[in-house]
């Protein structure tokens, strides 16, 4: 080979490898670096960057969790004295991915693009040894979940820590989002999110985009954390999992009146929505179930419609809802449920079956409902991927 061509190729591959180095190493930059088939010093540098990105050499030896960038997933393993090629396998044996040795180092890595909605339990396999493992989910982020430069931005304000009287002895953090289109001349719709400390980090962008497009009305967002006692004990399960009107009264008698000191809110049920994940999901449903004339829309992710709040009788929990829905006159509420077949199965019940029972009961009773059932685990990943469409469905045909 012409020596000048060899030098040019070396520089070219070096640039590709170096693009995957440093703190900016991502699944896609690692994929490019591996495709360059680095050797020698370039391979050594890439191996060091992989170690840094995956938590260090000790982490690589134990089998770290993958790096995920939407559908692009990267795995890596440190395997000294390996006599066979390490692999990533799904626990059900349906997925197998051999890892590529990085030069002559002890580091192995591989990157793959999964179909949207993929979810599986996985582990590394080295010879007959299983190393590490856990759940992985991959989804595409919809455009309306990403910040758009030409869309007006609302404001998110942290409120003074709230001391509740209805949940006596508890305090909680909470935030209020106000869309830029709200002018104070007429009351706005409102949507409440339980476990609001996480929702506040991604919901406002979706609200900005959908309100700007007219896909949902001008809506105030209220993001509320569960209560905490002075001793630090969390009150989340009691507030969220109990089948009573207490949390609905907390919102209607404490939180909404406080918001209305500075903002105008609509009071009709069609203009009020409530959302949550896990126990926050059943809480959202309970609020609408108890106060259907005040909250007309529910969005539940991996809702805990199981027997967590079992009470003294051991049978007082949310697993009762399917029977109640079937035997109670239909209530004027619209319900969106999301869950996946890899959700929890424990002493309280089976989450996938519970959500399927809810969907069947809602269908039997003639409710306006939608059920998105995927492959996911007990996480917000699937819910976030479908959030814009979920909100469009909830607010469709809305007329003030």
Q: Please, are residues 72 and 109 in contact by the beta-carbon 8 Å criterion?
A: no
pLDDT tens digits along 127-181 = 999 999 999 999 999 999 999 999 999 999 999 999 999 999 999 999 999 999 9
Distance separating alpha carbons of residues 277 and 358, to the nearest angstrom:
15
Per-residue pLDDT of 98-126, as tens digits, reads 999 999 999 999 999 999 999 999 999 99
Q: What is the DSSP string of 291-332?
A: -TTT--EEEEES---SSSS-TTTT--SGGGHHHHHHHSPPPS
- Of 92, 79, 28, the residue nearest 51 (C-alpha): 79
Segment 340-381, tens digit of pLDDT: 999 999 999 999 999 999 999 999 999 999 999 999 999 999
Phi-psi region of 51 (alpha: psi -120 to 50; beta: other; left: phi over 0): alpha
Domains along the chain with CATH numbers: 3-82+99-116 (no CATH), 143-395 (3.40.50.1820)
| Distance in angstroms (rounded) separating the CA atoms of residues 163 and 253 | 13
- Residue 265, CA distances (Å) to 87, 175, 294 in order: 56, 16, 12
Query: For residues 367-394, b (16+ Cβ closer than 10 Å) or e, as one string?
Result: bbbbbbbbebbbbbbbbbbbbbbbbebb
What's the pLDDT score for residue 344?
98
Closest CA to 330 of 267, 288, 294, 371: 288
* pLDDT at site 24: 81
DSSP string across 197-246: HHHTTTHHHHHHHHHHHTSS--EEEEEEPPPEETTS-B-HHHHHHS-SSH
Q: What are phi and psi of 116, to 5 degrees?
A: -60, 135
Distance of CA 289 to the CA centre of its chain: 24
Q: State which H helix or E strand residue 373 sits in.
A: strand 368-374
DSSP 255: I
Binning pLDDT at 50, 70 and 90, where does residue 319 land? very high
pLDDT value of residue 269:
98
3-state DSSP helix/strand/coil % of the chain, to nearest 5: 35, 25, 40
Q: What is the pLDDT of residues 56-105, one digit of tens each?
A: 999 999 999 999 999 999 999 999 989 999 999 999 999 999 999 999 99
Asked whether the predicted pLDDT for residue 7 surpasses 50, the reply is no
Q: What is the pTM of this model?
A: 0.92
Whats the size of the chain, residue-wise? 400
Task: Read off the pLDDT band of 400 (50, 70, 90).
Answer: confident
Q: What pLDDT is attached to residue 10? A: 43
Distance CA 140, CA 364 (A): 33
The reported pLDDT for the residue numbered 155 is: 98
Please compute the mean of the pLDDT values over residues 258-283 and round it to a whole number: 98
Contact 219, 207 (CB under 8 A): yes
Q: How far apart are CA 251 and CA 242, in angstroms?
A: 15
Whether 31 and 72 have beta carbons less than 8 Å apart is answered as yes
Q: How confident is the model at residue 21 (pLDDT cuts 50, 70, 90)?
A: very low
- pLDDT tens sequence across 197-253: 999 999 999 999 999 999 999 999 999 999 999 999 999 999 999 999 999 999 999
Local confidence band at 2 (pLDDT 50, 70, 90 cut-offs): low
For 394, the token pair is 């909830």
What CA–CA distance (Å, rounded) separates 304 from 279? 5
Mean pLDDT of 46-50: 97
């Amino acid at each position: 080979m012409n020596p000048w061509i060899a030098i040019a190729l070396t520089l070219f591959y070096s640039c590709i490898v170096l693009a995957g180095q440093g703190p900016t190493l991502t699944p896609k930059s690692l994929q490019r670096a591996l495709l360059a088939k680095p050797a020698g010093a370039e391979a050594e540098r890439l191996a060091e960057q992989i170690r840094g990105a995956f938590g260090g050499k000790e982490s690589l030896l134990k089998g770290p969790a993958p790096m995920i960038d939407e559908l692009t997933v990267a795995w890596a393993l440190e395997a000294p004295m390996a006599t066979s090629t390490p692999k990533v396998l799904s626990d059900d044996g349906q997925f197998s991915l051999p890892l590529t040795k990085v030069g002559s180092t002890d580091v192995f890595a591989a990157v793959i693009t999964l179909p949207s909605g993929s979810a599986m339990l996985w582990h590394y396999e080295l010879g007959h040894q299983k190393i590490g493992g856990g759940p992985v989910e991959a989804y595409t982020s919809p455009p309306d979940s990403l910040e758009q430069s030409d869309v007006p931005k609302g404001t998110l304000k942290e409120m003074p820590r709230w001391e509740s009287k209805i949940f006596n002895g508890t305090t909680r953090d909470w935030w209020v989002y106000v869309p830029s289109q709200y002018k104070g001349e007429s009351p706005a719709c409102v949507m409440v999110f339980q476990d609001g400390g996480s929702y506040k980090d991604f919901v406002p962008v979706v609200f900005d985009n959908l309100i700007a497009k007219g896909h949902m009305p001008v809506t105030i967002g209220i993001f509320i954390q569960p209560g905490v006692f002075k001793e630090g004990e969390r009150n989340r399960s009691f507030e969220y999992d109990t089948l009573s009107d207490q949390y609905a009264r907390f919102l209607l008698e404490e939180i909404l009146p406080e918001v209305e000191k500075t903002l105008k809110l609509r009071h009709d049920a069609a203009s009020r929505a409530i959302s949550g994940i896990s126990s926050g999901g059943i809480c959202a449903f309970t609020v609408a179930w108890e106060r259907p004339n005040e909250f007309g829309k529910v969005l539940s992710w991996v809702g805990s419609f199981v027997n967590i709040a079992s009470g003294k009788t051991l049978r007082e929990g949310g697993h009762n809802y399917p029977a109640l829905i079937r035997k109670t006159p239909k209530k004027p509420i619209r319900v969106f449920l999301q869950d996946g077949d890899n959700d929890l199965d424990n002493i309280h019940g089976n989450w996938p079956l519970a959500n399927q029972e809810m969907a069947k009961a809602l269908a039997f009773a003639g409710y306006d409902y939608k059920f998105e059932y995927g492959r996911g685990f007990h996480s917000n990943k699937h819910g976030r991927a479908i959030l814009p469409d979920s909100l469009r469905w909830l607010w469709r045909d809305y007329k003030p």
